[in-house]
Structure 1
Amino acid sequence: MKKEEIPQDDGALGRIAKEVTYVVGDDGKYETAQSSGWDVKTEALNVAWNDVERKIEAAKQKVLNSEASPVLYFMEKRIMDLSILSAYTGFWKWTIKRHMKPSVFNALSDQKLKKYAELFEISVEELKNPFTPPTSEKS
């Protein structure tokens, strides 16, 4: 692609940042140039984010229907999978799958809950009750 052919569509990050693209310069050598975005790439990103949002909502419904524990919801919300969760917590993947069962989750020790809460950057209380609004302390 030549420098004058670089797409300059309004991208997802167009107002925040420019994307570096490799182009062929007038001398035939590769060089870098900036693009503000490309409609095709923006559409692909939108499809990907819609898929992420759909997975989060499906996980939320499973938790609300007592079909899964909040571990599934926060895993989806943080865009993780079993391998990533296992690597960060030190739990085996099969153990995490068990923790996703509400009955097993409800019996987890405070130490295990704390490990998940720290990873998800929430409190243990938020982990146990993800859809309950936090209570404000009164002075």
Structure 2
Amino acid sequence: MKKNDVPQDESGLEKSNNKELCYAVNDKGEYTTIQSTGWKPKTIALDNAIQDINERINKAKAKVLNGETSPIEYYMECHKMDIGILASYVGKFQWQVKNHFNVKKFNRLSEKTLKKYASVFEISIEQLKNINYGN
């Protein structure tokens, strides 16, 4: 693709003042780099992914507020993690983290375990226990 043909469509990258580095051919036929704000197919895929993430966050929040899951699931979704990633960060097995989604088990977690989760999510233990804390 020629340098002048690199797409500059409006995208999530442009809105966040980030640009993607692309390779293109300049007037001399040499490869060079140019920044792009995005192109339509990629923008659509990015927007769909962000929408999916937001839906998962909202669903997890509703489950916490309804007492169906612990705040750990909500914060995991907010930080775009899955159980495997979260388990590795807190030094637990995946089945243990999944057990911590159980509200009764969450309410019995030790201070040490709560600190691990809070540290991973970069929040206080109070925020971990109450997703509406500080709002």
User: Would you call these one fold, judging by a TM-score over 0.5?
Assistant: yes
Give RMSD over aligned pairs: 1.7
Q: How does 1:50-61 map to 2 (within 5 A)?
A: 50-61=51-62
Question: Aligned pair 1:6/2:6, yes or no?
Answer: yes
* Greater C-alpha Rg: 1
Q: After alignment, is 1-10 or 85-94 more displaced?
A: 1-10
1:110 CA displacement:
0.8
Measure, in 1, the Cα distance between the counterparts of 2:19 and 2:115: 40
Measure, in 2, the Cα distance between the counterparts of 1:9 and 1:58: 31
- Other structure's SS at 2:72 match: helix
| Residue 119 (structure 2) aligns with | 118
Measure, in 2, the Cα distance between the counterparts of 1:19 and 1:125: 38
Question: Aligned pair 1:42/2:29, yes or no?
Answer: no
1:24 CA displacement:
3.2
- Kindly tell me the number of residue pairs found equivalent between the two proteins: 134
1:26 CA displacement:
4.4
Tell me, which stretches of 5 or more residues in structure 1 are unaligned? 135-139
Measure, in 1, the Cα distance between the counterparts of 2:20 and 2:133: 40
Could you list the per-position Cα deviations for residues 11-62 of structure 1 after superposition, in whole angstroms to 9, with x for gaps in the alignment?
3232623321112344544332222322322222111111110000110111
Tell me, which stretches of 5 or more residues in structure 2 are unaligned? none
Structure 1's consecutive aligned runs of 4 or more residues displaced over 6 angstroms after TM superposition are none
Question: Aligned pair 1:79/2:80, yes or no?
Answer: yes
Alignment check: 8 A CA contact 2:126 2:133 kept: no
1:80 CA displacement:
0.7
Q: After alignment, is 28-37 or 122-131 more displaced?
A: 28-37
Report the TM-score, using the length of structure 1 for normalisation. Answer: 0.86
Measure, in 2, the Cα distance between the counterparts of 1:120 and 1:18: 27
| Residue 137 (structure 1) aligns with | none
Measure, in 2, the Cα distance between the counterparts of 1:115 and 1:98: 15
Letter in 2 for 1:72: E
- Other structure's SS at 2:14 match: coil
Measure, in 2, the Cα distance between the counterparts of 1:129 and 1:96: 18
Higher helix share: 2
Report the TM-score, using the length of structure 2 for normalisation. Answer: 0.88
1:133 CA displacement:
3.8
1:130 CA displacement:
1.2
Measure, in 2, the Cα distance between the counterparts of 1:118 and 1:18: 31
Identity %: 48
